[in-house]
Every structure is written in C-alpha cells, then in structure tokens.
C-alpha cells in the first residue's frame, strides 16, 4: 500500500503525459465521401474548438463571395429554410441538419468553384440575412429564437460511420418519408422510408391538380391517335408510398419522371381519368427523403427533443461535434 501511495501520483502523471504525446502523433484526420475520389483531408489544428470557428465562403446572389463564421451562416439558413414560429426543438434539428449539409459542402462535395455554398435553395440552401429578414416583416424576437436554436446546437453535426451524412430535408411528407433509393437510385443506409405523423396542418399536405388528356399526353411525350384511348395501366409503389412506376398508354414512367414532367408536388400521388380530364392528387411536398420539417415540428409539439427528431428521420446516425474532425 505504501508503494502505491508513494508512486500513485507520478504514475498517473506519466500516463497522462504518454496520452498527450500519443495524441499529438495522431495523423491528420481523413474522411471519405460516397466514393474514393471524394476523399478529403481536413488539416489538424491544435484548437479543440476549431470546428466552431470555421469560416464558410458564401456565393451571394450578386456574384460576390462573403466569408462568415459557420454559426452566423447557419442562422441565415434557418431563418430562410424553416418558419421561426416552429417549435424550438424543430428549429434546433433544422440547425443541425443545415450545419451538417454545410460541412459536407465544405469538405466533400463542393459545388462552386470559389465558394463552399450559394444562397439558392434549389442548389445549396436558402439564405436570409437578418437585416433583410427584418425588412421583410420578420421581428427581432424571431431572430433571437432562431439564434438560440443555432447556438444551443453550435458545432453539432450528424455522422454515419464517422462521416458527415447527406442531410437532406424537405417541407412535408404527407405521412411517410421516402427511401433515397426510390428517388435517386442509390441506397443510402440512413435515408430510409419512415412514418411522419402529424403533418396535416402543412399547406401542401395534399394538393389536387387537373390536366386535359390532350395536355398530359403532350407533357409526357406520348403519341396517341385517339384521345379516348388514354389509359392508366399498372402502378407500383415505393416503401414510402410514392409511385415507383406507372404505365400510361402502355408506356412505363418512373414516379420521379412523372413528378418532373407534370411539375407535381411529390411522387406520392393518385391519378384518375374522367372523360377528357385527368385528376392527380399528391401527398406531401418535396422529394420526401430525410427530415420532414412539418414532421419535425409535429414531433416537437408532442414532446420530442431535437436529438429524438433527428434520430427518427436519419436512421442509425450519431450527433458529433465538428471539433472531432480537427
């Protein structure tokens, strides 16, 4: 016992010193994207908080590139991408998703030559500078609420097998999200179809559009001698309730093709023909892969926190601090 008492502190200090030395030899962290050519090296820094000091270069609409701290950028993204009157836990989930998306664009899949991201929602993520937000009718209280969601999750991203995930999100699923393979043809283990209840208050929970047979034949590129011969054939469905394939006048289309050609809100649709009118009713709005924003808000309203929301929509992922990559 005397021996232990005498040497306990020196031995402990030696172990700590050894740990520090070993850690300083840890090689520069490397992570990979979906294929080997996307392997990116993130340089080591000595600061454990380096992740929160990241600077994002943002291509603005006027063509200039603004550099800003990542959390400042995420505030502007969340202001644009999710209504500030959504529940705090939904806003936090959105902040983590936006940050994860940004981190991937910075280190794995950069789309722009001189900037990490742009401010166009259909390309990267939407963006609302707080001053523009105020001029458009937003309030300081709403900005403060979104800022709280951003700062309380600062530096947190989603990873799968240690790599930042492709954190896709959309407005409303219509009750069930879609599997990535059904929309983009590639299997992504964390982007699986899952139920998403409580979205009924979303503006586009269901939508109905009508076409004349003449218009629909033109839009789909079908040649038909007699419009009275217009027929809907076999329809198959995806795990997420979307149309996987549909036979129209003996021509087979994928659900995503029909959505694109007819500019439908989603691939989850039912179609009917009465006389010379075709009626299509869709459920949900967007590609329906990943996190449903209205679904996230519904979960928050029933007591789920942002971590539970994220783990529901992204299967098997973990939350990790950006600092772990530096």
Q: Could you list the residues that contact Zn ion (CB under 5 A)?
A: 111, 118, 123-124
Comparison of 82 and 124: residue with beta carbon closer to Zn ion:
124
Q: Give the C-alpha separation, 255 to 238, whole Å.
A: 9
- Quote the least distance from Cβ 70 to Zn ion, whole Å: 16
Rounded to a whole number of angstroms, the minimum distance from the CB of residue 13 to Zn ion is 51
Minimal CA–CA distance to 183: which of 259, 250, 101?
259
Nearer to Zn ion, 124 or 182 (CB): 124
The answer to whether the CB of 125 falls within 8 A of the CB of 70 is: no
Closest to 244 (Cα-Cα) out of 263, 264, 269:
269
Q: Which two tokens stand for residue 212?
A: 């004349």
Pairing of strands 232-237, 65-69: unpaired
Comparison of 99 and 192: residue with beta carbon closer to Zn ion: 99
In whole angstroms, the minimum distance from the beta carbon of 112 to Zn ion comes to: 6
Question: Given the complex with Zn ion, which of 111 and 231 has the nearer CB atom?
Answer: 111
Are the C-beta atoms of 309 and 291 separated by less than 8 Å?
yes
**Toward Zn ion, which CB reaches closer, 5 or 113?**
113
Residue 309: HSE in the Cβ half-sphere, 13 Å Cα cutoff:
29
From 172, 176, 178, select the one nearest 205 (Cα to Cα). Answer: 172
Least distance from C-beta 99 to Zn ion, angstroms? 16
Q: Smallest distance, Å, CB 120 to Zn ion?
A: 6
Q: Please report how the helices 140-151 and 70-81 are oriented relative to each other, as an axis angle in degrees rounded to 10.
A: 120
Least Å from the CB of residue 111 to Zn ion? 5
Nearer to Zn ion, 60 or 123 (CB): 123
- Helix ranges, the chain (H): 2-24, 70-81, 88-107, 130-135, 140-151, 180-184, 213-220, 255-262, 293-301, 306-313
Judged by CB, which is closer to Zn ion: 73, or 205? 73
For residues 125 and 102, give the distance between their C-alpha atoms in angstroms, rounded to a whole number. Answer: 9
DSSP class of residue 292 equals: E
Shortest Å, Cβ 281 to Zn ion? 32
């Amino acid at each position: 016992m005397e021996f232990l008492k005498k040497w306990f502190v020196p031995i402990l200090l030696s172990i700590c010193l050894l740990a520090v030395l070993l850690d300083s030899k840890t090689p520069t962290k490397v992570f990979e994207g979906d294929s080997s050519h996307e392997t990116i090296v993130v340089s080591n820094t000595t600061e454990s908080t380096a992740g929160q000091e990241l600077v994002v270069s943002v291509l603005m609409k006027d063509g200039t590139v603004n550099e800003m701290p990542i959390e400042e950028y995420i505030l502007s993204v969340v202001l644009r991408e999710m209504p500030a009157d959504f529940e705090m836990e939904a806003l936090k989930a959105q902040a983590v998703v936006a940050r994860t998306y940004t981190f991937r664009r910075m280190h794995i899949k950069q789309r722009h030559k001189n900037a990490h991201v742009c401010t166009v929602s259909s390309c990267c993520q939407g963006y609302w500078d707080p001053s523009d937000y105020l001029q458009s009718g937003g309030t300081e209280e709403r900005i403060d609420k979104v800022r709280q969601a951003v700062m309380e999750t600062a530096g947190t991203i989603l990873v799968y097998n240690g790599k930042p995930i492709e954190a896709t999100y959309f407005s409303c699923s219509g009750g069930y999200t879609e599997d990535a393979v059904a929309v983009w043809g590639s299997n992504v283990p964390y982007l699986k179809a899952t139920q998403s209840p409580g979205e009924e208050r979303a503006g586009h929970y269901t939508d109905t559009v009508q076409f004349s047979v003449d218009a629909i034949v033109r839009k789909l590129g079908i040649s038909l001698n007699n419009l009275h011969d217009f027929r809907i054939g076999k329809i198959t469905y995806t795990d997420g309730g979307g149309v996987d394939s549909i036979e129209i006048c003996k021509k087979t289309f994928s659900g995503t093709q029909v959505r694109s050609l007819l500019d439908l809100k989603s691939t989850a649709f039912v179609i009917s023909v009465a006389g010379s009118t075709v009626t299509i009713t869709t459920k949900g709005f967007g590609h329906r892969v990943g996190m449903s924003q209205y679904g996230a808000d519904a979960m928050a309203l029933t007591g789920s926190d942002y971590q539970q929301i994220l783990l529901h929509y992204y299967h098997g992922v973990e939350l990790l601090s950006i600092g772990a990559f530096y």
